[in-house]
Structure 1
Amino acid sequence: MKTAKLELAAQRYAEAEQALSAARDDLVVEAVALLRAHRDQPAPTEVDVSRITGWSVEDVRRLLAEADAVGAKPVP
């Protein structure tokens, strides 16, 4: 049936969305951990993380503030 191709495409799309979401979560965790580990050092800065991730500096600062606000533990 023609619906088999649609179902396969929908399944692949759902899996890709899950993978992208997991990758974004990993990226956020690593960015926050890096910034926390180097808070009192000149680099890496929010600008460096922004350049690497493609996020704006404001987004990087917001993510760090949100992680601090919810008490997210640093990754060892």
Structure 2
Amino acid sequence: MDTAKLELAAQRYREAVEALEGARLDLRAEAVAALSQDGVQPDDQAEVARITGWSRADLLALLEEAPGGPRR
């Protein structure tokens, strides 16, 4: 049995999962940073929601999980 293509596909999959997880962590960190700045307005929250595709509830949950606790 020739498994070279299977091994290649499995490796590409593992690399894609790692890249996706890295991007997810980066996006979460950048969203928290944007929402944690002094003077953040509701329009700023709406812009972060638009860019990320996350709801306001998602953003509030993200802030709750962030080190340092909730910031609204």
Q: TM-score range by the shorter chain?
A: 0.7 to 0.9
Q: Give, in angstroms, the shift of residue 60 of structure 1.
A: 1.0
Q: Give, in angstroms, the shift of residue 63 of structure 1.
A: 0.4
Q: Name the TM-score, length of structure 1 as normaliser.
A: 0.78
Aligned to 1:58: 57
Identity across the alignment (%) = 56
* Structure 1: segments with no counterpart, 5+ residues: none
Q: Give, in angstroms, the shift of residue 55 of structure 1.
A: 1.3
Q: Give, in angstroms, the shift of residue 29 of structure 1.
A: 0.3
SS of the counterpart of 1:37? coil
Amino acid at match of 2:17: E
1:4 aligns with 2:4: yes
Aligned to 1:71: 68
Q: In the TM superposition, what whole-angstrom CA distance separates every residue of 1:1-55 from its partner, at most 9, and x where no partner exists?
A: 53110110000000000000000100000000010014x332412x211110011
Q: Distance in 2 between matches of 1:56 and 1:3?
A: 43
> Pairwise CA RMSD of aligned residues?
1.7
Amino acid at match of 1:59: D
* Structure 2: segments with no counterpart, 5+ residues: none
Task: Give the number of aligned pairs.
Answer: 68
Amino acid at match of 2:24: R
Q: Distance in 1 between matches of 2:52 and 2:40?
A: 20
